[in-house]
Amino acid sequence: MNDAASLDRRELQLLLFATPIAPLISLLPGGRYLFPLLVPLALYPGFARAVRAGDYAKAFRRSLVWALLLSVSVILFVHVAPRAAADGILNAEPYRQEMFGWIETGVAKENDWRLFLPEHLLHLGLFVALAWVSGGYLALALGAALTAYMSYFVGSFSVATGSPFLASVAAWVPWSVVRVLAFVALGCILARPLLLRKAWPFGAKEGRWVAAALLGILTDLLVKANLAPAYGLFLRRWLAGE
């Protein structure tokens, strides 16, 4: 029991120490690719152990802490070294330009489900496949890449408004938060086959987690389809200082 508690404590310490400094990886040669591939190492040992034990709640909680720390660290990176962040984070500037264009003009795929749905389904399909074939690790890497460039936009918005905390909270649009929750829940379950070396290690408990994840994904789409135009206007007014 003491050994298990000690291991759990070390895994948590790794998560809490390594994740906030992970953006420094992006400063290395090839860092924009190494960053999303390596940052899951801070989470994965504890994540994998919890999934093997069927403790999905612990895997879920640890994953959310990891995602939160990763997002905050990228936002701070943007404030401290915006050029380095732009160069070191995959898709950072294209996504920032797309989101600022949506805020400033209201014309973007964010406001049209026919445009954003294919991209969402692509990300979901990739996430499912990567989680299944890698015991969750590559799905976490994909999640890190998505979280990093979304957080780059959030940091850029908070810099532009001069309101680091409140603007960062507001710019993490609510449907994206729901999507993160849903993907994390799904990843906890789909990591299980490879980790247990079983083709179908699923039962009623896993089914409930998958159902909750799918409900979250549907909620994400419905909230975005209905709320995005008004939320974009809200952010536009904030950006304009109204």
Query: What does the pLDDT look like over 178-190, one tens digit per residue?
Result: 999 999 999 999 9
pLDDT band at 171 (very low <50, low <70, confident <90, very high): very high
Say yes or no to pLDDT of 152 above 90.
Answer: yes
C-alpha angle 32-109-130 in degrees, rounded to nearest 5? 45
DSSP state of 242: -
Nearest to 46 by CA among 76, 7, 20: 7
C-alpha angle 82-84-90 in degrees, rounded to nearest 5? 100
Tell me how far the alpha carbon of residue 58 is from its chain's centroid.
17
What's the whole-number mean pLDDT along residues 35-47?
A: 98
What is the per-residue pLDDT for 1? 53
pLDDT band at 9 (very low <50, low <70, confident <90, very high): very high
Tell me how far the alpha carbon of residue 88 is from its chain's centroid.
17
For 72-99, what is each residue's pLDDT tens digit? 999 999 999 999 999 999 999 999 999 9
Give the separation between CA 104 and CA 107, rounded to whole angstroms. 8
For 13-22, what is each residue's pLDDT tens digit? 999 999 999 9
Measured CA distances, 173 to 23, 151, 157, 168, 208 (Å):
22, 11, 12, 9, 26
Cβ neighbours around 220 below 10 Å, total: 22
User: Would you say the C-alpha torsion 111, 114, 119, 124 has a positive or negative sign?
Assistant: positive
* 88-104 burial code (b ≥16 CB/10 A, e <16): bbbebeebbeebbebbe
Q: Are 71 and 154 in contact (CB under 8 A)?
A: yes
Say yes or no to pLDDT of 44 above 60.
Answer: yes
For 91-137, what is each residue's pLDDT tens digit? 999 999 999 999 999 988 999 999 999 999 999 999 999 999 999 99
What is the per-residue pLDDT for 4? 85
Average pLDDT value over all residues in the chain: 97
Say yes or no to pLDDT of 138 above 70.
Answer: yes
Say yes or no to pLDDT of 2 above 90.
Answer: no
Give the separation between CA 81 and CA 66, rounded to whole angstroms. 22
pLDDT band at 242 (very low <50, low <70, confident <90, very high): confident
Radius of gyration of the chain (CA): 18
What is the per-residue pLDDT for 3? 84
